[in-house]
């Protein structure tokens, strides 16, 4: 990976953006997409889409990550200056305690905090041996009163994001950061747009990043209706199954062995002919890939494929360890091979190919 690509990834994961507060990420996307786009478009929820016309007005191909990360929202400031919060996206309480966070005010000021709870020393054995209730957690910002917190400008509704600094793990290809879900998909979208601008393409491409995926695939519904594509791809993350304790059924993906082609999730069954086309492109170009199933979740393709009269859609995902936590890990090669696969797929989606995929 060259230095410029790594800098893009670091810039994206360092940005803060929970559902409904994606401004920072949207600005980064626009900055990197504008040099390669004929037009920058937005839906009413804030999803951003870069349109680029190829050699001719061919079929419309949409590929999109999503901007938002799992996080929290300020709901209440206690009399003693502690912050109560609402989770945004799917959190597991056991990964939250004693983790650092940042609160971003409406004015853009950032305050540091840590998620706290009662100490285990005062809990009964029954409570201590059970997962701690998220409703009993709070954020300590080092304040002594609600007046102090309010004077800082912190208000209910303010964004709270996990805090961690990006790092490459011990000079390997493993990369640690918050928000790989789904800044890595956003990076793939931007890099594919850049590649197509350099190589040419026989279609009209729409490279995007959707708003509010983590709270119900909301931006994908509105952006898909705006684009009105012939073919759509969700560029997202999937679970890795290569850590201790995973069953053989769960261990279907390994970091470093390529992007995942999602053959089933709770939000959609992928279009069969489109799926087979993508697999053929991967095999012909010797691009490694893995099959995966997400029985309990979905991607933006779950909304993309229901747009208008129905759109052949597929999710292509980057495997990630420790999803929906402060500290997730990807493998550099999986990102690079996802970019390569999506680029090669889109380059081959000419009018005749799309017609064959869509015909019954």
**What is the reported pLDDT for 178?**
98
The CATH superfamily assigned to 71-162 is Peptidase M42, domain 2 (2.40.30.40)
In three state form, how does the secondary structure of the chain look? CCHHHHHHHHHHHHCCCCCCCCHHHHHHHHHHHHHHCCEEEECCCCCEEEEEECCCCCCEEEEEEECCCCEEEEEEECCCCCEEEEEECCCCHHHCCCCEEEEECCCCCEEEEEEECCCHHHCCHHHHCCCCCHHHCEEECCCCCHHHHHHCCCCCCCEEEECCCCEEHHHCCEEEECCHHHHHHHHHHHHHHHHHHHHCCCCEEEEEEECCCCCCCHHHHHHHHHHCCCEEEEEEEEECCCCCCCCCCCCCCCCCCCCEEEEEECCECCCHHHHHHHHHHHHHCCCCCEEEEECCCCCCHHHHCCCCCCCCEEEEEEEEECCCCCCEEEEHHHHHHHHHHHHHHHHCCCHHHHHHHHCC
Catalytic residue ranges: 213
Is 300 labelled as part of a ligand binding site? no
For the chain, where do the domains classified as CATH 2.40.30.40 start and end?
Answer: 71-162
pLDDT tens-place values along the chain, 360 residues long: 999 999 999 999 999 999 999 999 999 999 999 999 999 999 999 999 999 999 878 999 999 999 999 999 999 999 999 999 999 999 999 999 999 999 999 999 999 999 998 888 887 887 788 888 999 999 999 999 999 999 999 999 999 999 999 999 999 999 999 999 999 999 999 999 999 999 999 999 999 999 999 999 999 999 999 999 999 999 999 999 999 998 887 788 999 999 999 999 999 999 999 999 999 999 999 999 999 998 888 999 999 999 999 999 999 999 999 999 999 999 999 999 999 999 999 999 999 999 999 999
**What is the reported pLDDT for 285?**
98
**What is the reported pLDDT for 250?**
79
pLDDT more than 70, % of the chain: 100
Q: pTM to 2 decimals?
A: 0.96
Q: Which fold has domain 3-69+178-358?
A: Aminopeptidase (3.40.630)
1-19 residue pLDDT tens: 999 999 999 999 999 999 9
Is 136 labelled as part of a ligand binding site? no
Q: Is 240 helix (H, G, I), strand (E, B) or coil?
A: coil
Spatial distance between the Cα atoms of 152 and 321, rounded to a whole number of angstroms: 36
Spatial distance between the Cα atoms of 84 and 135, rounded to a whole number of angstroms: 8
Is 66 labelled as part of a ligand binding site? yes
192-251 residue pLDDT tens: 999 999 999 999 999 999 999 999 999 999 999 999 999 999 999 999 999 999 888 778
């Amino acid at each position: 990976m060259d230095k410029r690509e790594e800098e893009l990834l670091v810039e994206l994961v360092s940005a803060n953006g929970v559902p409904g507060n994606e401004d920072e990420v949207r600005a980064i996307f626009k900055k990197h997409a504008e040099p390669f786009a004929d037009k920058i478009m937005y839906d009413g929820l804030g999803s951003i889409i870069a349109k680029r016309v190829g050699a001719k007005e061919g079929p419309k191909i949409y590929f999109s990550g999503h901007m938002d990360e799992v996080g929290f929202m300020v709901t209440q400031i206690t009399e003693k200056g502690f912050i109560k919060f609402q989770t945004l996206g799917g959190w597991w309480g056991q990964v939250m305690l004693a983790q650092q966070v940042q609160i971003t005010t409406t004015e853009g000021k950032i305050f540091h905090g840590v998620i706290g709870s009662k100490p285990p020393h005062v809990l009964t054995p029954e409570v201590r041996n059970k997962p701690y209730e998220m409703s009993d957690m709070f954020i300590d910002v080092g304040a002594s009163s609600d007046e102090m917190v309010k004077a800082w400008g912190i208000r209910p509704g303010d964004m709270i994001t996990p805090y961690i600094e990006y790092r490459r793990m011990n000079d390997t290809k493993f990369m640690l950061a918050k928000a790989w879900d789904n800044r890595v998909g956003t990076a793939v979208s931007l890099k594919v747009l850049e590649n197509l601008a350099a190589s040419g393409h026989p279609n009209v491409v729409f490279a995007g990043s959707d708003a509010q995926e983590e709270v119900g695939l909301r931006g994908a519904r509105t952006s898909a209706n705006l684009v009105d594509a012939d073919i759509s791809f969700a560029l997202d993350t999937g679970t890795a199954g290569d850590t201790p304790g995973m069953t053989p059924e769960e261990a279907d993906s390994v970091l470093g062995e390529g992007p995942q082609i999602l053959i089933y999730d709770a939000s959609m069954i992928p279009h069969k002919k489109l799926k087979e086309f993508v697999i053929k492109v991967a095999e012909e170009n010797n691009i490694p890939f893995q099959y995966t199933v997400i029985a309990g979740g979905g991607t933006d393709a779950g909304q993309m494929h229901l747009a208008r009269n129905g759109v052949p859609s597929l999710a292509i995902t980057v495997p990630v360890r420790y999803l929906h936590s402060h500290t997730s890990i990807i493998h550099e090669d999986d990102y690079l091979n996802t970019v390569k696969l999506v680029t090669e797929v889109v380059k081959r989606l000419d009018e005749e190919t799309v017609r064959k995929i869509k015909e019954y």
